[in-house]
Structure 1
């Protein structure tokens, strides 16, 4: 049986993607050096929030996810970030390939709220692997990629922010029910407000909230 090992050697924001996309650079090693014709790989990526420290402002922003800091001993649990499939090309011994992960800036998604709350440092991620490898010299042998294969990754927070800024420069967005959106659109039309920003600021001003 071939022994497969994985390591994440880096992560970057894809500047040419149609939507927010992170690209993880993955090194795959087959030991002893074996011919791998192809590998159909499943990759689950988890956030491991307990593996880093948090400033007070970050802890406050994470309250809705994990509760008060006094509860973090039991509430700071791993979170699912992404699950992708990757076709690794033919190689002998070792190869590096890209794992593209399409992301969202929907603040209703727990992972997005987590990333948004962080000010600097790194995001502790864990990549979990399984799948099927086609190996052999002069023929094919089908081998499983064991379920216990994994690789840690420390993604800089600035990489996430760079990706978001490429697609949502200086802004963010929220998702609303259709009837609420229709009511907001009618409110904006009645008052001839030129933008959604002015619409929200007008509503906040009417509610006695300060806007900047």
Structure 2
């Protein structure tokens, strides 16, 4: 029965997908005597260990939308679920192999993980990867067998904040993604049309200026 462990070697944006995707380079290693692996259906839950890094004052201010005022962070700062990912690992016969684990990423600010990544200026994001799935292999008699990967299999990785920023700059250069319901969009579109703004950026700036004048 194969015993696998996992190490994250690095991370890089994937420039050739339809949506933002981050590739994590994984090394999969067989402990003990290696057996011929036919394939691995690998599943991974990725969590952000928010308490395992320091936050600059500017980062604390931006993250107050998630965790409240910094004075309360001893109670509110908790691990965040980022996403789930899957990959089928091709067969290998040695004691290790390497594969890219594609991580789907979102720039939707309704998601806690997006708010967290956007709130950071520099440094790293402490991640913990929890693995599960199925391993298909040949036993000592050459017969095809299957075993499950235990949820106790995990790995940690310090993802550079700049890698996430580079990914979003690649897919959304000088842009941010904002999702609103249709009623809000229709009202904004009507405001844009009525005031003759050429684009939605100008309409939003005009609306903010109107609110500032009304408040003064």
Q: Which TM bucket (shorter chain)? A: over 0.9
> What corresponds to 1:90 in structure 2?
91
Gaps of 5+ in 1: none
1:67-101 Cα distance to aligned partner (Å, 9 max, x none): 22222222211111111221111012211001111
**1:31-42 pair list within 5 angstroms:** 31=31, 32-42=33-43
Q: Distance in 1 between matches of 2:98 and 2:177?
A: 35
> Per-residue deviation at 1:33?
1.6
> What corresponds to 2:136 in structure 1?
134
For these two proteins, the number of residue pairs brought into alignment is: 209
Q: Distance in 2 between matches of 1:68 and 1:30?
A: 46
Instruction: After the TM superposition, list the runs of 4 or more consecutive aligned residues in structure 1 that deviate by more than 2 angstroms.
Output: none
Secondary structure in 1 aligned to 2:179?
A: coil
> What corresponds to 2:159 in structure 1?
155
Secondary structure in 1 aligned to 2:58?
A: helix
| Residues 86 and 102, structure 2, Cα contact 8 Å, conserved in 1 | no
TM-score, scaled relative to structure 2: 0.93
> What corresponds to 1:165 in structure 2?
169
> Per-residue deviation at 1:147?
1.2
Quote the RMSD (CA, aligned, Å): 1.2
> What corresponds to 1:57 in structure 2?
58
Q: Distance in 1 between matches of 2:209 and 2:76?
A: 37
TM-score, scaled relative to structure 1: 0.95
Q: Distance in 1 between matches of 2:189 and 2:70?
A: 39
